[in-house]
Amino acid sequence: MTQLPDSPANYCYRHPDRQSFVLCQRCGRTICPECQSPAAVGVHCPECMKESRQSTPRSRPAVVTAVRRAGRSGSPVVTYAIMALCVLVFLAELATGLLGNGSIVEAVLGYSPRLTLIAPWQMVTTIFVHGGFLHILFNMFSLYVLGRQLEPMVGRARFAALFFLSGIGGSVAVLLLAPDTFVVGASGAIFGLFAAYFVIARHLGANGTQLIVIIGINLALGFFLPNIAWQAHLGGLIVGALVGLIYVKTRSVRRRTAQYLLLAGVVVLLVALVALGVSLHGIRA
């Protein structure tokens, strides 16, 4: 393309007072040095650069891409997220425990039934706190094995509801049966997963004898070994079985509303039991 020296086309289309002989590689308009943007071949004007950016797929950080891929692939992301949170809290316990006698994190997040009205969040946060390496190792291994089976089976939201309702059920049982203890750990929630898995497996026709033996052994250990809150195991087991039964009986899409209502009923029942425990043991704010 050739331009005559005195032609108006020899001036930047955005700055008519600036003479230039450089053309945009895409649209062919004259652009001054201020308006030139380097391209793969030649230079582009601002408008063409804007169009190019809009049409170019945006690259995402590798972490974001990995998370999205996991979300689409059916991976047990809720299980992994809970495990990661437990490990982070345990590391925080270790860090704060070095500062004195006991961990600040454990004191704040662990569950003390006598503080139910003052710190009700402890009934949930105690799930993420553990009392030692063997404690968290056993619980995380159990969660990993059960979560990889159950989460894809029932779905992420229902798995999360099952886990946390079972964990809260364990805390409620401790409140009712052992109000003067201090408990930490995800054992109640994991026993709930055991129970729900058994109920669902039996409904699907699987043989649950081995699972019953495992549950029985672990539940019995709580009565004989020291520093094990069998009350939390029992509470999580009962709530997990109840939630698993709800999932089985409302499996059809047409019964989805009934499922939500029944789960809400479990929440109301747990709240009522908390009120009963607080009243029975004279717990005050």
* pLDDT tens, position by position, 219-258: 665 555 556 788 999 999 999 999 999 999 998 888 999 9
For the cut 70, the answer to whether the pLDDT of residue 31 exceeds it is: yes
Q: For 247, phi and psi rounded to 5 degrees? A: -60, -40
Alpha-carbon distances of 268 from 46, 169, 212, 225, rounded to whole Å = 61, 12, 29, 33
Mean pLDDT confidence for 153-161:
93
For the cut 70, the answer to whether the pLDDT of residue 3 exceeds it is: no
| pLDDT recorded at residue 67 | 47
User: For the chain, where do the domains classified as CATH 1.20.1540.10 start and end?
Assistant: 77-280
Q: Give, in words, the CATH class of 77-280.
A: mainly alpha
| pLDDT recorded at residue 201 | 86
| pLDDT recorded at residue 207 | 66
